[in-house]
Amino acid sequence: MSNIDLTGRWELVTFVQNYDDGRQVLPMGEAPQGIIQYTADGYMSCQITKADRSNFTTGGQWSASDAEKADAYNSMLSYAGRYDVEGNTVTHYVELSLFPNWIGGQQKRTFSLDEQGQLSLTARLEENTSEARTALLLWKRG
């Protein structure tokens, strides 16, 4: 078990993906917003959005155009479920998600705290492909 206490609310500082070929991508833009919440009884919830999300102009949440709904989908990441910690790895067991394919799966993240008390969550994605990369999410207590 790690001695780092994840319990509480964390606010997103940085979300970057560093590709093995040298590319650096900001999936939610330069000023992403987000929170991740860990409860003492083993539940977590994560919400991340682009800062400059557009309002619907063609209708409401159910009647907006398909293009506007697709843009909303592409500008947000959200999921929730149980979690556990082993060493410096936190595993999120996805029960609900904006992305249907994540439901029933796991999101594993290596974590650490820096000198300023910021939480770093990293993950390797698409290993052994041309899209192999390390995702870094940096959080501060909120």
pLDDT tens digits, one per residue of 42-59: 999 999 999 989 999 999
Strands (E), 39-105: 43-49, 76-86, 89-97
Phi, psi torsion values for 54, nearest 5 degrees? -85, 145
- How far apart CA 136 and CA 85 sit, in angstroms, is 18
Q: Do the domain assignments include residue 135?
A: yes
Q: For the whole model, what pTM was predicted?
A: 0.90
Token reading at 8: 């509480």
Q: Do the domain assignments include residue 129?
A: yes
Query: Is residue 3 over pLDDT 70?
Result: no
Q: Do the domain assignments include residue 48?
A: yes
Query: How confident is the model over 68-118, as pLDDT tens digits?
Result: 999 999 999 999 999 999 999 999 999 999 999 999 999 999 999 999 999
Query: Is residue 2 over pLDDT 80?
Result: no
What's the mean per-residue pLDDT of the chain?
A: 95
State the CB neighbour count (10 A cutoff) for residue 130: 8
In this prediction, residue 1 has a pLDDT band, given cuts at 50, 70 and 90, of very low
pLDDT at res. 26: 97
Q: Do the domain assignments include residue 113?
A: yes
**Total domain count for the chain?**
1
State the CB neighbour count (10 A cutoff) for residue 95: 14
Range of the domain at 16: 8-141
Q: Do the domain assignments include residue 3?
A: no
Q: Do the domain assignments include residue 45?
A: yes
Q: Do the domain assignments include residue 34?
A: yes
CATH code assigned at 29: 2.40.128.320
